[in-house]
Structure 1
Protein backbone atom coordinates (compact mmCIF):
# COMPACT_ATOMS: atom_id res chain seq x y z
CA UNK A 1 0.00 0.00 0.00
CA UNK A 2 1.16 3.53 -0.75
CA UNK A 3 1.96 5.89 2.09
CA UNK A 4 0.04 9.01 1.00
CA UNK A 5 -2.04 7.89 -2.00
CA UNK A 6 -5.05 5.58 -1.89
CA UNK A 7 -4.29 2.57 -4.16
CA UNK A 8 -6.41 2.21 -7.29
CA UNK A 9 -8.19 -0.96 -6.14
CA UNK A 10 -9.27 0.78 -2.93
CA UNK A 11 -10.38 3.83 -4.92
CA UNK A 12 -12.66 1.59 -6.98
CA UNK A 13 -14.07 -0.02 -3.84
CA UNK A 14 -14.73 3.34 -2.18
CA UNK A 15 -16.41 4.70 -5.31
CA UNK A 16 -18.81 1.75 -5.23
CA UNK A 17 -20.00 2.47 -1.68
CA UNK A 18 -23.33 4.31 -1.44
CA UNK A 19 -23.16 5.98 1.98
CA UNK A 20 -26.94 6.16 2.26
CA UNK A 21 -27.13 2.42 1.66
CA UNK A 22 -24.40 1.89 4.26
CA UNK A 23 -26.39 3.93 6.81
CA UNK A 24 -29.46 1.78 6.05
CA UNK A 25 -27.48 -1.44 6.48
CA UNK A 26 -25.99 -0.25 9.79
CA UNK A 27 -29.48 0.55 11.11
CA UNK A 28 -30.65 -2.86 9.90
CA UNK A 29 -27.73 -4.53 11.68
CA UNK A 30 -28.67 -2.78 14.92
CA UNK A 31 -32.16 -4.27 14.68
CA UNK A 32 -31.28 -7.75 13.43
CA UNK A 33 -28.00 -8.09 15.36
CA UNK A 34 -26.40 -9.43 12.16
CA UNK A 35 -23.82 -7.67 9.97
CA UNK A 36 -25.67 -8.70 6.83
CA UNK A 37 -24.27 -7.21 3.62
CA UNK A 38 -21.96 -4.70 5.31
CA UNK A 39 -18.69 -6.69 5.06
CA UNK A 40 -19.27 -7.33 1.35
CA UNK A 41 -20.11 -3.69 0.69
CA UNK A 42 -16.93 -2.48 2.38
CA UNK A 43 -14.53 -5.11 1.06
CA UNK A 44 -11.15 -3.68 0.03
CA UNK A 45 -11.88 -0.14 1.24
CA UNK A 46 -8.53 0.07 3.03
CA UNK A 47 -7.12 -0.54 6.52
CA UNK A 48 -8.89 2.42 8.16
CA UNK A 49 -12.32 1.15 7.14
CA UNK A 50 -11.32 -2.48 7.81
CA UNK A 51 -10.35 -1.57 11.37
CA UNK A 52 -13.68 0.14 12.02
CA UNK A 53 -15.53 -2.74 10.42
CA UNK A 54 -13.75 -5.20 12.71
CA UNK A 55 -14.65 -3.07 15.75
CA UNK A 56 -18.28 -2.98 14.58
CA UNK A 57 -18.30 -6.77 14.21
CA UNK A 58 -16.87 -7.20 17.70
CA UNK A 59 -19.45 -4.82 19.18
CA UNK A 60 -22.17 -6.74 17.35
CA UNK A 61 -20.95 -10.03 18.80
CA UNK A 62 -20.82 -8.62 22.32
CA UNK A 63 -24.35 -7.28 21.97
CA UNK A 64 -25.66 -10.66 20.78
CA UNK A 65 -23.94 -12.38 23.69
CA UNK A 66 -25.36 -10.02 26.31
CA UNK A 67 -28.31 -11.40 28.27
CA UNK A 68 -29.09 -9.08 31.19
CA UNK A 69 -31.15 -5.99 30.35
CA UNK A 70 -28.56 -3.61 31.80
CA UNK A 71 -25.77 -5.29 29.88
CA UNK A 72 -27.84 -5.24 26.69
CA UNK A 73 -28.38 -1.51 27.08
CA UNK A 74 -24.63 -0.98 27.52
CA UNK A 75 -23.64 -3.10 24.53
CA UNK A 76 -26.30 -1.46 22.37
CA UNK A 77 -24.77 1.96 23.08
CA UNK A 78 -21.36 0.58 22.18
CA UNK A 79 -22.77 -0.92 18.99
CA UNK A 80 -24.37 2.37 17.95
CA UNK A 81 -21.06 4.13 18.58
CA UNK A 82 -19.16 1.53 16.54
CA UNK A 83 -21.68 1.90 13.71
CA UNK A 84 -21.26 5.67 13.76
CA UNK A 85 -17.47 5.30 13.74
CA UNK A 86 -17.72 2.97 10.75
CA UNK A 87 -19.91 5.35 8.77
CA UNK A 88 -17.58 8.27 9.57
CA UNK A 89 -14.53 6.23 8.51
CA UNK A 90 -16.06 5.52 5.11
CA UNK A 91 -17.13 9.15 4.71
CA UNK A 92 -13.66 10.31 5.68
CA UNK A 93 -11.97 8.03 3.15
CA UNK A 94 -14.32 9.16 0.38
CA UNK A 95 -13.51 12.82 1.21
CA UNK A 96 -9.80 12.00 1.24
CA UNK A 97 -10.16 10.38 -2.17
CA UNK A 98 -11.90 13.48 -3.49
CA UNK A 99 -9.03 15.64 -2.20
CA UNK A 100 -6.41 13.37 -3.76
CA UNK A 101 -8.16 13.51 -7.13
CA UNK A 102 -8.30 17.29 -6.97
CA UNK A 103 -4.59 17.37 -6.07
CA UNK A 104 -3.81 15.05 -9.01
CA UNK A 105 -4.97 17.71 -11.46
CA UNK A 106 -1.84 19.70 -10.58
CA UNK A 107 0.60 17.33 -8.87
CA UNK A 108 1.26 13.67 -8.15
CA UNK A 109 3.83 12.41 -5.65
CA UNK A 110 5.06 8.84 -6.21
CA UNK A 111 4.76 7.16 -2.81
CA UNK A 112 5.86 3.63 -3.72
CA UNK A 113 9.35 3.67 -2.21
CA UNK A 114 11.10 0.42 -1.35
CA UNK A 115 13.60 0.30 1.53
CA UNK A 116 17.22 -0.67 0.81
CA UNK A 117 18.34 -4.23 1.47
CA UNK A 118 20.72 -3.10 4.21
CA UNK A 119 21.01 0.14 6.17
CA UNK A 120 24.18 2.08 6.83
CA UNK A 121 24.34 5.17 9.01
CA UNK A 122 23.94 7.28 5.84
CA UNK A 123 20.23 7.10 4.97
CA UNK A 124 18.52 8.54 1.93
CA UNK A 125 15.06 8.67 0.35
CA UNK A 126 14.37 9.80 -3.20
CA UNK A 127 10.90 11.20 -3.89
CA UNK A 128 9.74 11.49 -7.51
CA UNK A 129 6.90 13.76 -8.50
CA UNK A 130 5.23 15.47 -11.42
CA UNK A 131 3.54 18.85 -11.39
CA UNK A 132 2.08 21.62 -13.52
CA UNK A 133 0.81 25.12 -12.87
CA UNK A 134 -2.59 24.54 -14.50
CA UNK A 135 -4.58 21.59 -15.80
CA UNK A 136 -3.89 22.78 -19.36
CA UNK A 137 -0.10 22.72 -18.99
CA UNK A 138 2.20 19.82 -19.80
CA UNK A 139 3.56 17.84 -16.89
CA UNK A 140 6.99 18.68 -15.51
CA UNK A 141 8.90 15.92 -13.69
CA UNK A 142 11.30 16.20 -10.78
CA UNK A 143 12.76 14.52 -7.73
CA UNK A 144 14.27 15.40 -4.39
CA UNK A 145 16.61 13.20 -2.35
CA UNK A 146 16.43 13.55 1.42
CA UNK A 147 19.52 12.49 3.36
CA UNK A 148 20.15 11.84 7.02
CA UNK A 149 23.24 10.76 8.93
CA UNK A 150 22.38 8.58 11.92
CA UNK A 151 24.01 9.76 15.14
CA UNK A 152 26.02 6.76 16.29
CA UNK A 153 27.07 8.17 19.66
CA UNK A 154 25.89 6.01 22.60
CA UNK A 155 22.59 6.94 24.22
CA UNK A 156 23.37 6.98 27.92
CA UNK A 157 19.75 7.72 28.83
CA UNK A 158 18.88 4.06 28.12
CA UNK A 159 19.75 1.43 30.76
CA UNK A 160 22.57 -0.92 29.85
CA UNK A 161 21.48 -4.54 29.19
CA UNK A 162 22.17 -7.02 32.01
CA UNK A 163 23.90 -9.32 29.52
CA UNK A 164 25.80 -8.16 26.49
CA UNK A 165 23.98 -9.43 23.38
CA UNK A 166 25.82 -11.39 20.73
CA UNK A 167 27.32 -9.63 17.73
CA UNK A 168 24.56 -11.04 15.50
CA UNK A 169 21.86 -9.82 17.88
CA UNK A 170 23.47 -6.37 18.07
CA UNK A 171 23.56 -6.16 14.26
CA UNK A 172 19.93 -7.26 14.03
CA UNK A 173 18.86 -4.57 16.50
CA UNK A 174 21.01 -1.98 14.72
CA UNK A 175 19.38 -2.78 11.38
CA UNK A 176 15.91 -2.63 12.95
CA UNK A 177 16.55 0.77 14.52
CA UNK A 178 17.95 2.15 11.28
CA UNK A 179 14.95 0.79 9.38
CA UNK A 180 12.64 2.66 11.76
CA UNK A 181 14.68 5.83 11.22
CA UNK A 182 14.60 5.33 7.44
CA UNK A 183 10.83 4.81 7.60
CA UNK A 184 10.46 8.06 9.56
CA UNK A 185 12.59 9.83 6.95
CA UNK A 186 10.57 8.31 4.09
CA UNK A 187 7.21 9.28 5.56
CA UNK A 188 8.36 12.78 6.42
CA UNK A 189 9.78 13.22 2.92
CA UNK A 190 6.54 12.18 1.21
CA UNK A 191 4.29 14.31 3.39
CA UNK A 192 6.61 17.31 3.06
CA UNK A 193 6.57 17.21 -0.75
CA UNK A 194 2.80 16.67 -0.83
CA UNK A 195 2.12 19.47 1.65
CA UNK A 196 4.44 21.82 -0.22
CA UNK A 197 2.41 21.35 -3.40
CA UNK A 198 -0.92 21.36 -1.55
CA UNK A 199 -0.04 24.74 -0.04
CA UNK A 200 0.58 26.16 -3.51
CA UNK A 201 4.33 25.66 -3.73
CA UNK A 202 6.08 25.88 -7.09
CA UNK A 203 7.69 22.61 -8.17
CA UNK A 204 10.53 24.55 -9.77
CA UNK A 205 11.56 25.72 -6.28
CA UNK A 206 12.08 22.22 -4.87
CA UNK A 207 15.80 21.49 -4.42
CA UNK A 208 17.39 18.35 -5.83
CA UNK A 209 18.72 17.30 -2.43
CA UNK A 210 17.96 18.19 1.17
CA UNK A 211 19.79 17.20 4.34
CA UNK A 212 17.18 16.54 7.01
CA UNK A 213 17.48 18.69 10.09
CA UNK A 214 17.75 16.97 13.44
CA UNK A 215 16.15 17.59 16.80
CA UNK A 216 18.51 19.51 19.07
CA UNK A 217 17.62 17.33 22.06
CA UNK A 218 17.14 13.81 20.70
CA UNK A 219 19.72 14.21 17.89
CA UNK A 220 17.21 12.36 15.69
CA UNK A 221 14.44 13.21 13.27
CA UNK A 222 11.28 15.05 14.24
CA UNK A 223 8.12 16.21 12.46
CA UNK A 224 9.93 19.22 10.95
CA UNK A 225 13.10 17.51 9.78
CA UNK A 226 12.08 17.17 6.12
CA UNK A 227 10.41 20.56 5.63
CA UNK A 228 12.83 21.75 2.98
CA UNK A 229 11.13 25.11 2.54
CA UNK A 230 11.75 26.24 6.12
CA UNK A 231 14.62 28.63 6.78
CA UNK A 232 17.52 26.54 7.99
CA UNK A 233 19.56 27.54 11.08
Structure 2
Protein backbone atom coordinates (compact mmCIF):
# COMPACT_ATOMS: atom_id res chain seq x y z
CA UNK A 1 0.00 0.00 0.00
CA UNK A 2 1.20 3.52 -0.70
CA UNK A 3 1.78 5.88 2.19
CA UNK A 4 -1.48 7.76 1.58
CA UNK A 5 -2.75 6.42 -1.77
CA UNK A 6 -3.94 2.91 -2.61
CA UNK A 7 -1.83 1.67 -5.56
CA UNK A 8 -3.70 1.15 -8.82
CA UNK A 9 -3.26 -2.65 -8.89
CA UNK A 10 -4.69 -2.94 -5.39
CA UNK A 11 -7.64 -0.73 -6.34
CA UNK A 12 -8.45 -3.09 -9.20
CA UNK A 13 -8.25 -6.12 -6.90
CA UNK A 14 -10.43 -4.51 -4.22
CA UNK A 15 -13.04 -3.37 -6.73
CA UNK A 16 -13.31 -6.91 -8.09
CA UNK A 17 -14.49 -8.31 -4.76
CA UNK A 18 -18.22 -8.72 -4.29
CA UNK A 19 -18.99 -8.06 -0.63
CA UNK A 20 -21.94 -10.46 -0.53
CA UNK A 21 -19.90 -13.25 -2.13
CA UNK A 22 -17.08 -12.56 0.34
CA UNK A 23 -19.42 -12.91 3.31
CA UNK A 24 -20.87 -16.13 1.88
CA UNK A 25 -17.41 -17.65 1.45
CA UNK A 26 -16.35 -16.54 4.93
CA UNK A 27 -19.40 -18.28 6.41
CA UNK A 28 -18.62 -21.34 4.32
CA UNK A 29 -15.01 -21.35 5.53
CA UNK A 30 -16.14 -21.14 9.16
CA UNK A 31 -18.71 -23.89 8.67
CA UNK A 32 -16.32 -26.23 6.83
CA UNK A 33 -13.28 -25.21 8.92
CA UNK A 34 -11.14 -24.56 5.85
CA UNK A 35 -10.58 -21.48 3.73
CA UNK A 36 -11.16 -23.33 0.44
CA UNK A 37 -12.87 -21.11 -2.13
CA UNK A 38 -12.09 -17.95 -0.16
CA UNK A 39 -8.62 -17.75 -1.72
CA UNK A 40 -9.99 -17.57 -5.24
CA UNK A 41 -11.05 -13.98 -4.53
CA UNK A 42 -7.39 -12.86 -4.71
CA UNK A 43 -7.63 -11.12 -1.35
CA UNK A 44 -3.86 -11.34 -1.03
CA UNK A 45 -3.58 -8.86 -3.92
CA UNK A 46 -5.64 -6.21 -2.10
CA UNK A 47 -2.79 -4.84 0.02
CA UNK A 48 -1.19 -5.66 3.35
CA UNK A 49 -4.21 -4.68 5.51
CA UNK A 50 -6.63 -7.11 3.87
CA UNK A 51 -3.93 -9.76 3.37
CA UNK A 52 -3.10 -9.67 7.08
CA UNK A 53 -6.76 -10.24 7.98
CA UNK A 54 -6.92 -13.18 5.58
CA UNK A 55 -3.79 -14.61 7.21
CA UNK A 56 -5.38 -14.18 10.66
CA UNK A 57 -8.48 -16.03 9.47
CA UNK A 58 -6.34 -18.90 8.14
CA UNK A 59 -4.57 -19.11 11.50
CA UNK A 60 -7.89 -19.05 13.37
CA UNK A 61 -9.17 -21.85 11.14
CA UNK A 62 -6.07 -23.95 11.88
CA UNK A 63 -6.41 -23.44 15.64
CA UNK A 64 -10.11 -24.33 15.50
CA UNK A 65 -9.41 -27.55 13.58
CA UNK A 66 -6.77 -28.55 16.12
CA UNK A 67 -9.00 -27.91 19.12
CA UNK A 68 -10.62 -31.03 20.57
CA UNK A 69 -12.06 -30.24 24.00
CA UNK A 70 -15.55 -28.62 23.94
CA UNK A 71 -14.40 -25.60 25.96
CA UNK A 72 -11.40 -25.06 23.68
CA UNK A 73 -13.59 -25.48 20.61
CA UNK A 74 -15.92 -22.81 21.93
CA UNK A 75 -12.98 -20.42 22.45
CA UNK A 76 -11.46 -21.03 19.03
CA UNK A 77 -14.90 -20.84 17.43
CA UNK A 78 -15.46 -17.37 18.87
CA UNK A 79 -12.00 -16.28 17.71
CA UNK A 80 -12.71 -17.70 14.25
CA UNK A 81 -15.93 -15.76 13.88
CA UNK A 82 -14.16 -12.56 14.98
CA UNK A 83 -11.45 -13.18 12.40
CA UNK A 84 -14.11 -13.63 9.73
CA UNK A 85 -15.80 -10.39 10.77
CA UNK A 86 -12.46 -8.57 10.73
CA UNK A 87 -11.74 -9.71 7.18
CA UNK A 88 -15.18 -8.63 5.98
CA UNK A 89 -14.78 -5.26 7.73
CA UNK A 90 -11.30 -4.73 6.24
CA UNK A 91 -12.57 -5.20 2.69
CA UNK A 92 -15.47 -2.81 3.23
CA UNK A 93 -13.21 -0.24 4.89
CA UNK A 94 -10.72 -0.34 2.03
CA UNK A 95 -13.56 -0.06 -0.48
CA UNK A 96 -14.80 3.04 1.29
CA UNK A 97 -11.29 4.50 1.42
CA UNK A 98 -10.84 3.80 -2.29
CA UNK A 99 -14.10 5.57 -3.13
CA UNK A 100 -12.99 8.57 -1.05
CA UNK A 101 -9.61 8.72 -2.79
CA UNK A 102 -11.21 8.49 -6.24
CA UNK A 103 -13.61 11.31 -5.40
CA UNK A 104 -10.82 13.48 -4.02
CA UNK A 105 -8.64 12.74 -7.06
CA UNK A 106 -11.04 14.81 -9.16
CA UNK A 107 -9.73 17.93 -7.39
CA UNK A 108 -6.33 17.02 -5.94
CA UNK A 109 -3.69 14.32 -5.99
CA UNK A 110 -0.71 14.16 -3.64
CA UNK A 111 2.21 12.12 -4.97
CA UNK A 112 3.28 9.76 -2.18
CA UNK A 113 6.34 8.38 -4.00
CA UNK A 114 9.08 10.19 -2.08
CA UNK A 115 12.68 9.34 -2.90
CA UNK A 116 14.64 7.88 0.01
CA UNK A 117 18.02 9.64 0.43
CA UNK A 118 21.12 7.49 0.01
CA UNK A 119 22.65 8.93 3.18
CA UNK A 120 21.30 11.18 5.90
CA UNK A 121 22.71 14.28 7.52
CA UNK A 122 21.28 16.36 10.36
CA UNK A 123 19.69 18.60 7.70
CA UNK A 124 16.67 16.61 6.59
CA UNK A 125 14.24 17.50 3.83
CA UNK A 126 11.18 15.97 2.16
CA UNK A 127 9.70 17.29 -1.07
CA UNK A 128 6.01 16.60 -1.63
CA UNK A 129 4.59 17.14 -5.11
CA UNK A 130 0.90 17.60 -5.84
CA UNK A 131 -1.61 18.79 -8.41
CA UNK A 132 -4.89 20.49 -7.72
CA UNK A 133 -7.77 22.44 -9.24
CA UNK A 134 -10.78 24.25 -7.86
CA UNK A 135 -13.37 22.52 -10.07
CA UNK A 136 -13.32 19.49 -12.37
CA UNK A 137 -13.58 21.86 -15.34
CA UNK A 138 -10.36 23.70 -14.46
CA UNK A 139 -6.89 22.85 -15.70
CA UNK A 140 -4.54 21.14 -13.25
CA UNK A 141 -2.07 23.28 -11.35
CA UNK A 142 1.13 21.52 -10.33
CA UNK A 143 3.16 22.41 -7.26
CA UNK A 144 5.40 21.15 -4.48
CA UNK A 145 6.41 21.97 -0.94
CA UNK A 146 9.70 21.05 0.73
CA UNK A 147 9.63 20.33 4.46
CA UNK A 148 12.96 20.85 6.21
CA UNK A 149 14.11 19.86 9.67
CA UNK A 150 17.45 20.22 11.45
CA UNK A 151 17.89 17.31 13.83
CA UNK A 152 19.07 18.17 17.32
CA UNK A 153 22.04 15.86 17.88
CA UNK A 154 22.82 16.98 21.42
CA UNK A 155 23.24 14.03 23.80
CA UNK A 156 20.14 12.75 25.54
CA UNK A 157 21.12 13.00 29.19
CA UNK A 158 17.95 11.19 30.26
CA UNK A 159 19.46 7.92 29.02
CA UNK A 160 21.95 6.00 31.16
CA UNK A 161 25.58 6.36 30.11
CA UNK A 162 27.11 3.41 28.27
CA UNK A 163 29.82 1.50 30.12
CA UNK A 164 31.84 1.12 26.96
CA UNK A 165 32.06 3.65 24.15
CA UNK A 166 30.93 2.14 20.83
CA UNK A 167 33.27 2.08 17.84
CA UNK A 168 33.18 4.89 15.30
CA UNK A 169 31.47 2.58 12.81
CA UNK A 170 28.80 1.62 15.34
CA UNK A 171 28.24 5.26 16.25
CA UNK A 172 27.79 6.14 12.58
CA UNK A 173 25.37 3.25 12.08
CA UNK A 174 23.33 4.30 15.10
CA UNK A 175 23.32 7.89 13.85
CA UNK A 176 22.09 6.87 10.40
CA UNK A 177 19.34 4.74 11.97
CA UNK A 178 18.22 7.65 14.13
CA UNK A 179 18.27 10.06 11.20
CA UNK A 180 16.35 7.60 9.03
CA UNK A 181 13.62 7.22 11.66
CA UNK A 182 13.38 11.00 11.96
CA UNK A 183 13.27 11.41 8.18
CA UNK A 184 10.52 8.79 7.94
CA UNK A 185 8.53 10.68 10.60
CA UNK A 186 9.02 13.90 8.64
CA UNK A 187 8.03 12.24 5.35
CA UNK A 188 4.87 10.66 6.76
CA UNK A 189 3.80 13.88 8.46
CA UNK A 190 4.50 15.90 5.30
CA UNK A 191 2.36 13.68 3.08
CA UNK A 192 -0.59 13.58 5.45
CA UNK A 193 -0.28 17.29 6.07
CA UNK A 194 -0.63 18.19 2.38
CA UNK A 195 -3.39 15.59 1.89
CA UNK A 196 -5.37 16.86 4.88
CA UNK A 197 -4.89 20.49 3.82
CA UNK A 198 -6.57 19.81 0.48
CA UNK A 199 -9.14 17.49 2.06
CA UNK A 200 -10.22 20.35 4.34
CA UNK A 201 -10.69 22.67 1.35
CA UNK A 202 -7.32 24.42 1.48
CA UNK A 203 -6.25 26.70 -1.38
CA UNK A 204 -3.29 25.29 -3.29
CA UNK A 205 -2.05 28.79 -4.09
CA UNK A 206 -1.40 29.41 -0.40
CA UNK A 207 0.93 26.44 0.06
CA UNK A 208 4.48 27.74 0.64
CA UNK A 209 7.47 26.48 -1.36
CA UNK A 210 9.29 25.48 1.82
CA UNK A 211 8.34 24.95 5.44
CA UNK A 212 10.57 24.61 8.47
CA UNK A 213 9.06 21.87 10.58
CA UNK A 214 8.26 22.96 14.10
CA UNK A 215 9.72 20.98 16.98
CA UNK A 216 8.37 19.82 20.29
CA UNK A 217 9.41 22.20 23.05
CA UNK A 218 10.15 19.31 25.41
CA UNK A 219 11.71 16.58 23.26
CA UNK A 220 13.32 18.96 20.71
CA UNK A 221 12.09 16.52 18.05
CA UNK A 222 9.14 16.17 15.71
CA UNK A 223 5.58 15.63 16.88
CA UNK A 224 2.16 15.27 15.24
CA UNK A 225 1.91 19.01 14.65
CA UNK A 226 5.38 19.61 13.20
CA UNK A 227 4.35 19.59 9.52
CA UNK A 228 1.10 21.57 9.75
CA UNK A 229 2.31 24.39 7.50
CA UNK A 230 -1.03 26.25 7.66
CA UNK A 231 -1.04 26.33 11.45
CA UNK A 232 -0.32 29.70 12.99
CA UNK A 233 3.18 29.65 14.40
CA UNK A 234 3.68 30.70 18.05
Query: Is the pair's TM-score, using the shorter chain for normalization, greater than 0.5?
Result: yes
Structure 2 equivalent of residue 64 of structure 1: 65
Q: Secondary structure at the match of 1:31?
A: helix
TM-score (norm 1): 0.99
Pair 1:27 & 2:13 matched: no
Structure 1 equivalent of residue 162 of structure 2: 161
Q: Secondary structure at the match of 1:146?
A: strand
Structure 2 equivalent of residue 230 of structure 1: 231
- Where structure 1 has 5 or more consecutive residues not aligned to the other structure, the ranges are none
Q: Distance in 2 between matches of 1:213 and 1:44?
A: 38
Listed as ranges, the matches of 1:35-114 within 5 Å are 35-41=35-41, 42-114=43-115
CA drift at 1:160: 1.7
Pair 1:199 & 2:200 matched: yes
Q: Distance in 1 between matches of 2:44 and 2:76?
A: 25
List structure 1 runs of 4+ shifted beyond 6 angstroms: none
- Where structure 2 has 5 or more consecutive residues not aligned to the other structure, the ranges are none
Number of residue pairs matched by the alignment: 233
Q: Distance in 1 between matches of 2:27 and 2:132?
A: 44
Q: Secondary structure at the match of 1:83?
A: helix
CA drift at 1:59: 0.5
Q: Distance in 1 between matches of 2:185 and 2:77?
A: 40
Structure 1 equivalent of residue 8 of structure 2: 8
TM-score (norm 2): 0.98
Structure 2 equivalent of residue 216 of structure 1: 217
Instruction: Please tell me whether the aligned partners of residues 13 and 43 of structure 1 are also in contact (alpha carbons under 8 angstroms).
Output: no
CA drift at 1:43: 2.5
Structure 2 equivalent of residue 172 of structure 1: 173
Q: Distance in 1 between matches of 2:128 and 2:52?
A: 29
